């Protein structure tokens, strides 16, 4: 068994959609609820001021029907804020979207498994990508989740899911186990900032997948392979957003960079200097539908500040081609951003009046540093 590193660099999303697409939606975030059974320090959940609730079943089905009529070929992600498995009709909504031929992804912290939703239902219902928001791989880091559940009990739930996927025929195309990589980021929250912790977490997951070691050699996932690859993940000319390690059939460990939630979650003593110019591909190919029907274009718009329409009174097609969103798109093509929310997102983080860059302070890379919009690094067999 051998491994290699592969980089996949995508063009800037905004540039790609401006040059080629015609504002066709590729991603729709369907927020079934903004209630959550965790209150993670690295999430904007505790900053959210809008009302909490659950999307009515008839509204969820209407949105799915409309996407079907629009010949929607993208991904319907049943999440924006909140934990989707808490919705009382989650299983019915999931089945309805899959029966309609809509590619359905689910992001869950799996805390409600198997009490509210069985493991069998999750893995055999036809979900395209199941993202398990594991994030904190030991007792110390798990404290940032701010829940009464003990880490050992939480890990047991993950072990049950992985074991079922290992021992049964499932029709989930892809299972991602997300771990939050917080080294060299703007947040005050420390989650995973040690390469050896990543190595330990991956090996612990591999112990579940390969209990008898008959099809697996730990030497292939030792420091030489994992830590070397992870260092490439954060030491390249571009700071990478996503790093994937395939550990089994359809199963990936995904390291994701901790983010500032559009510069709303920043270190103490820092401030943001707004910027009204920039580009963002979200305007052109994504739509977030909040539980109450209000729509935004950004998956990090936790308060629904970038309002573009109401799915209760206006069709998804009309919202996508309406005056409000069309105007924002035309301005974005010229490098102009209308929303105050976007101004902060594209703004400059400063401390004591000077530009603040944790990346630069740690001496990782030189001038000209630029965040990659979507770059994947895979360690594959």
Task: Tell me what pLDDT residue 218 has.
Answer: 54
Residue 38 CB burial class (10 angstroms; 0-12, 13-18, ≥19): middle
Task: Tell me what pLDDT residue 42 has.
Answer: 87
Task: Tell me what pLDDT residue 268 has.
Answer: 76
Task: Tell me what pLDDT residue 22 has.
Answer: 58
- The alpha carbon torsion through 291, 293, 294, 296 (nearest 10 deg) reads 70
Task: Tell me what pLDDT residue 206 has.
Answer: 86
- Measuring CA to CA, how many Å separate 103 from each of 127, 133, 239? 8, 20, 30
Task: Tell me what pLDDT residue 376 has.
Answer: 30
Task: Tell me what pLDDT residue 331 has.
Answer: 92
Task: Tell me what pLDDT residue 269 has.
Answer: 81
Q: In order along the chain (381 residues), what is the average pLDDT of each group of 10 residues? A: 32 34 81 96 91 98 96 93 97 96 96 94 94 92 92 96 92 91 59 73 86 60 57 47 78 82 83 90 90 95 95 96 92 91 90 68 29 27 28
Residue 342 CB burial class (10 angstroms; 0-12, 13-18, ≥19): buried
Centroid of chain to Cα 304: 17
Task: Tell me what pLDDT residue 4 has.
Answer: 31
Residue 163 sits at the vertex; the CA angle it makes with 157 and 167, to the nearest 5 degrees, is 150
């Amino acid at each position: 068994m051998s491994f290699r590193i592969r980089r996949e660099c995508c063009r800037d999303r905004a540039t790609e959609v401006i040059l080629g697409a015609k504002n066709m939606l590729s991603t729709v975030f369907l927020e079934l609820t903004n209630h959550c059974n965790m209150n993670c320090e690295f999430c904007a959940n505790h900053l959210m001021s809008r009302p909490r609730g659950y999307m009515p079943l008839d509204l969820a089905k209407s949105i799915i029907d409309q996407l079907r009529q629009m010949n929607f070929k993208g991904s319907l992600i049943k999440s924006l804020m909140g934990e989707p498995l808490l919705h009382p009709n989650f299983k019915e909504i999931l089945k309805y979207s899959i029966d309609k031929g809509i590619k359905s992804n689910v992001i869950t912290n799996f805390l409600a498994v198997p009490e509210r939703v069985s493991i069998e239902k999750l893995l055999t219902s036809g979900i395209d990508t199941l993202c398990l928001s594991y994030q904190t791989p030991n007792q110390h880091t798990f404290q940032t989740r701010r829940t009464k559940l003990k880490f050992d009990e939480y890990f047991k739930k993950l072990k049950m899911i992985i074991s079922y996927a290992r021992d049964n025929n499932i029709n989930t195309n892809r299972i991602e186990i997300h771990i939050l990589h917080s080294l060299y980021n703007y947040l005050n929250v420390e989650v995973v900032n040690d390469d050896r912790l990543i190595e330990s977490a991956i090996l612990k997951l591999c112990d579940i997948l390969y209990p008898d070691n008959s099809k697996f050699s730990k030497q292939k996932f030792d420091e030489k392979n994992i830590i070397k690859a992870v260092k490439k993940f954060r030491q390249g000319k571009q700071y990478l957003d996503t790093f994937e390690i395939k550990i089994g059939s359809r199963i990936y460990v995904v390291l994701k960079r901790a983010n500032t939630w559009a510069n709303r979650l920043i270190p103490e003593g820092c401030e943001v200097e707004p910027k009204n110019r920039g580009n963002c591909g979200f305007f052109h190919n994504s739509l977030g539908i909040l539980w109450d029907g209000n729509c935004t274009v950004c998956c990090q718009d936790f308060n629904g500040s970038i309002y573009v329409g109401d799915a209760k009174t206006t069709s998804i097609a009309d919202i996508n081609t309406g005056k409000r969103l069309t105007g924002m798109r035309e301005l974005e093509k010229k490098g102009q951003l209308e929303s105050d929310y976007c101004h902060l997102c594209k703004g400059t983080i400063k401390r004591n009046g000077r530009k603040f860059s944790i990346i630069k302070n740690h001496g990782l890379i030189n001038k000209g540093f630029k965040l990659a919009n979507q770059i994947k690094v895979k360690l594959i067999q």
